[in-house]
Structure 1
Amino acid sequence: MTDIPRTIDDKSTADDASVRTAVELGLPATIAELCALVRIPSVAWSAFDRATVLRSAEAVATLARDLHVFDTVEIKQAGIPGGTELGQPAVLATRAARNGRPTVLLYAHHDVQPPGKDEDWDSAPFEPTVRGDRLYGRGAADDKAGVMAHVASIRALVDAAGPDFDLGLALFIEGEEEFGSRSFATFLDENVDALRADVIVVADSNNWDVSTPALTTGLRGNVTLRLNVRTLDHASHSGMFGGAVPDAMMATIALLATLYNEDGSVAVAGLTIHTGDTPEYSEEQLREETGLLDGVSPIGHGSILSRIWSQPAITVTGIDAPSVDNASNTLSPSITVRVSCRIAPGQRASDAAAVLEEHLRAHAPFGAHVEISEVDCGQPFLVDTSGWAVTEARRAMTDAWGAPPIDIGVGGSIPFIADLVRVFPESQILVTGVEDPDSRAHSPNESLHLGVFKRAVLTEALLLSRLNHRSGQ
């Protein structure tokens, strides 16, 4: 990496107006390109067609090439550790820095969550639809808008500074973030020189609201696992043997209940809590943003944001059991569930996985047989906010939004950031985003607020333009 310059010359101020104009004029085309990406159903999960993810990668690579600023643009795959399977295709584009300028790595992902049931959407999930000031569609926010924020900000930089600018750039658009980034670590190791940067911008997070930007400074980690509970060799008649024989459904319900205290907080010994200040956030705001029904109380203790950002949480995200329509008077011999545990910053994911597994085995009721498999871990993360890049990002946010940013934590996880820290310990990491509390990422009717998108693009464009003039020692 370069020796980091410490001053920005006066020309960057003059370029701000050109950047603003470029973002404004380019916005219609940028939104049209985003819509084209949303139409590609690039779900990276194993049950879906891999060809759609490749098609999405090809579309992103074309967008990168059409910028005419990169030395190389490639679609690349890396191996998944522990086997011979390749991960999903990613796009990697690079441009060398000149004249001692820094290099910025821009990250986003072009794969999306499965759409779920079409009937839960107000419009088709892969047909981008504008209603009011929002663009609806799977991936419209998470994270194809992040992809387009990078593309649009580079385009604005070119319009303001010309294609012969000095800033170094690396564009890394991953293809399997929603499927666990299984080949991410291998990809980093195989492309370490191309990805090396002074600043890493991860455009995959949230803003405080549609009028207030946010810089994400804390992320929970995660542990997911597959839990199978067995009590019988075969199904039996519930009328004949119920009351004497514990069925697997009964045992599973009882076991899962041990994960929670009476107030709904996590009851697993050894899962830790991170202590930190949180902004004001009312129960009314929580209800409005989540759709919490009247009469249903929030769970946990402490400030609401500490429960979301700084405490562990456990969710049963799936269950394999007889359906209601196919229910019979039967004692189920085996039940399988998917358990997702979010862990607080400051705890290693492997330690959290160990205490969670220990709890499940120790609390298996009636001697039920418990099998735990498919354990995946993602590390939590705390951003070092002392660097010059954070200062510049906050200044760009304030100028683009007309309001200073709020430092936030995120209840969700971006586990690959721990890999970035491992491979690039000297890089400054900025976690930004294009979403707002109503974006409903991962849910039906996912959407992007177009005003937020415009301000996010302008923020990044201003940041790149200013770093392009960063000089001196």
Structure 2
Amino acid sequence: MADAPAVADVRRAVAVLMPRALDDLAALVAIPSVADDRLFPRAECERAAAWVADALRAEGIDDARPVPTPDGSSTVLGHRAGPAGTPTVLLYAHYDVQPPLRDEAWLSPPFTLTPRDGRLYGRGAADCKGNVVAHLTALRALRQLLGELPVGVRVAIEGSEEQGTGGLEEYVRAHPEHFAADAVLVADTGNATLGRPTLCVSLRGATNVVVRVETMAGEVHSGMFGGAAPDALAALVAILATLRDAQGGTTVRGLDATGTWDGVAYDAEQFRHDAGVLADVRLLGGASVADTLWARPAVTVLGLDAPPVVGSAAAVQPRAAARLNLRVPPGTDARNARDALVAHVLDVAPWGARVTVETEPVGQPFRARTDGPVFATLSQALADAFDAPTVTAGQGGSIPLCNVFAETLPDAAVVLLGVEEPACLIHAPNESVDPREIERLAVGEALFLARLADRSH
């Protein structure tokens, strides 16, 4: 097996491949692979899965094929053994995408990859088809430079990640042998800022609860009864007000909200820009943005059942409800956090109001291992590819599959990376990707795979 290629050689190879990579991205974005057949035909996801399987087979993953999972979606799985004595790396991404939301909010058609101001716009361009293309480009570069893949490669390109229906998680638990690897690269996150190589080492866990408040048999006239009649909507507002302090920090009883983040900082002005915070509106939490996002719990009110303003009547409300989302950092068990939230809500309910809480499934937080050769090799490979030091960051979202990989592959290093930097606006109208992120990520991944093979000699 040849030694790992030089950085300059990999950069040149990937640069030559970029026109093909962007053609691939355009072809993938053109497939509206939303894994919700209420919105788009299931055949579109099947078409995307077939495209990915064909592309992987062309790059030496000879058995790549769509495999049905328990939620009805298909994951593209494949494996190519490496040279004797070399490790195996599992490459993960997903081909399904979020719905486009409001078509009129897009400046160009959501399923047509459109260049504008140096970026490429389209649903899934970053999340996560840009990562699929980065995987493909890294494999192509290595085959051109070395004649073969330097390590064993498994692939798992999921088809229902955005729906959160858990099909691949169930499949992994039932068939762990299909995912056996020494390292897992989960390409579904991104850099802290454009051009700054970042490994995501922390994911917050999540759980939702629905709080229902009842106080009377039915509505009553606010003129005749208001003031003495127990207002269910006001009771719900009072409950919700106890979940944050004056600075906006989470105040659920029994939950530690004092954690600190020791990785890369998140500049407050950059966060204001990324989140679209209005001028003069203060950020919440009373701590650094990184502490608040990645090291502390957070409660968000997702929705309310209450009369709308237009059409509302002069009546005291007998019932109201809210759906709450609780995010918890690594080190906190999400089930315990959910139970603490439920107990808090029941305890603070005013006026003897009848309060019930319905719970939804729990996703545990995840913390990546940062010791060992995989993390060190990947960190240096990305630094060389981006010509900048690699930093570590967290992510407020949850990827339950990471914990499943950690449970079923206890000896493997699970690491998160990707092309989805803040300007991408993933999940929003006008999602985009900077093609330089795809190029640099492909260079870094190719360097990592080649160098990991060298370490095994």
Please give the TM-score of this superposition, normalised by the length of structure 2. 0.92
Contact 1:214-1:432 within 8 A present in 2 as well = yes
Q: Distance in 2 between matches of 1:122 and 1:205?
A: 25
Pick which of 166-175 and 110-119 moved more. 110-119
Conservation of the 8 A alpha-carbon contact between 1:139 and 1:446: yes
Deviation at 1:195, TM superposition (A): 0.5
Q: Is the 8 A contact 1:165 1:468 kept in 2?
A: no
Quick one: which of 44, 47, 60 aligns to 2:35? 44
Instruction: Give the Cα separation in 1 of the matches to 2:143 and 2:404.
Output: 31
1:184–1:160 distance in 2 versus 1, CA, 3 Å: same
Give 1:172 deviation, angstroms. 0.4
Instruction: Determine if the alignment matches structure 1 residue 62 to structure 2 residue 47.
Output: no
Q: What residue number does 2:247 align with? A: 263
Q: Quick one: structure 1 residues 10 and 359, their matched pair in 2 at CA, closer, same or farther if it must change by over 3 Å?
A: same
* Structure 1 equivalent of residue 206 of structure 2: 222
- 1:215, distance to aligned residue in structure 2 (A): 1.1
Aligned to 1:82: none
Question: How much does 1:297 deviate?
Answer: 0.7
> Residue 370 and residue 144 in structure 1: after superposition, are their counterparts in 2 closer, same or farther (change >3 A)?
farther
One of 54, 67, 73 as aligned partner of 2:64:
73
Gaps of 5+ in 2: none
Segment of structure 1 superposing worse, 70-79 or 136-145 = 70-79
The yes-or-no answer on 1:23 pairing with 2:8 is no
Q: Alpha-carbon deviations, 1:280-303, whole Å to 9, x = none? A: 444322222222111101111222
Are 1:192 and 2:184 counterparts?
no
The alpha-carbon distance between structure 1 residues 239 and 95, as it changes in their structure 2 partners (threshold 3 A), is farther
Q: Structure 2 residue aligned with 1:144, among 107, 117, 129?
A: 129
SS of alignment partner, residue 243 of structure 1: coil
What is the aligned counterpart of 1:113 among 98, 101, 117? 98
Contact 1:210 1:451 in 2 (8 A): no
* Cα RMSD (Å): 2.3
Counterparts of 1:138 and 1:367, CA distance in 2: 48
Show CA shifts across 1:57-88 (max 9, x none).
22222222232x12422212332xxxxxx342
Q: How does 1:399-414 map to 2 (within 5 A)?
A: 399-414=384-399
Alignment-derived partner of residue 371 in structure 1: 356
User: What is the rounded CA distance, in whole Å, between the counterparts of 2:351 and 2:168 in structure 1?
Assistant: 41
**Number of the residue aligned with 1:183:** 167
Query: In the alignment, does 2:437 pair up with 1:452?
Result: yes
Shift of 1:332: 4.1
| Residue 339, structure 1, aligned to residue 330, structure 2 | no
The 2-side partners of 1:335 and 1:120 are apart by 32
Match of 1:3 in 2: none
Q: Equivalents in 2 of 1:87, 1:369: separation in Å?
A: 39
Contact 2:305 2:320 in 1 (8 A): yes
Q: Deviations over 1:388-425 (max 9, x none)?
A: 01111111111111111111122222222111111111
CA distance in 2, matches of 1:232, 1:435: 49
- Contact kept in structure 1, 2:220 and 2:316, CA below 8 Å: yes
Letter in 2 for 1:61: A
Counterpart secondary structure, 2:18:
helix
Deviations 1:2-35 (A, max 9, x none): xxxxxxx872135x44432221111122122212
Q: TM-score, normalised by structure 1?
A: 0.89
Q: 1:364 to 1:114 in 2, by over 3 A?
A: farther
CA contact (8 A) 1:203 1:432 kept: yes
The answer on whether the counterparts of 1:108 and 1:146 sit within 8 Å (CA) in structure 2 is: yes
**1:33 matched residue in structure 2:** 24
Partner residue, 2:230 = 246
Once the two structures are overlaid, the 10-residue window that deviates more, 38-47 or 459-468, is 38-47
Kindly indicate whether residue 4 of structure 2 is the aligned counterpart of residue 12 of structure 1: yes
2: distance between equivalents of 1:342 and 1:46? 29
CA contact (8 A) 2:209 2:323 kept: yes
Preserved contact between residue 272 and residue 344 of structure 1 (Cα < 8 Å): no
Describe the SS at the equivalent of 2:419: strand
Q: Describe the shift of the 1:147–1:245 C-alpha distance in structure 2 as closer, same or farther (beyond 3 A).
A: farther
- Give the drift of 1:179: 2.0
For the structure 1 residues 65 and 350, does the alpha-carbon distance in structure 2 shift closer, same or farther, using more than 3 Å as the test?
same
CA shift in 2, pair 1:153/1:309, >3 Å: same
Aligned counterpart, 2:404? 419
Question: Which runs of 5 or more residues in structure 1 are unaligned?
Answer: 1-8, 80-85
| Shift in alpha-carbon separation, 1:261–1:105, aligned structure 2, 3 A | same
2:279 is matched with 294
1:357 Cα deviation after fit: 1.3
Aligned equivalents of 1:40 and 1:261: distance in 2? 45
Q: CA deviation at 1:226?
A: 3.0
Worse-superposed segment, 353-362 or 460-469: 460-469
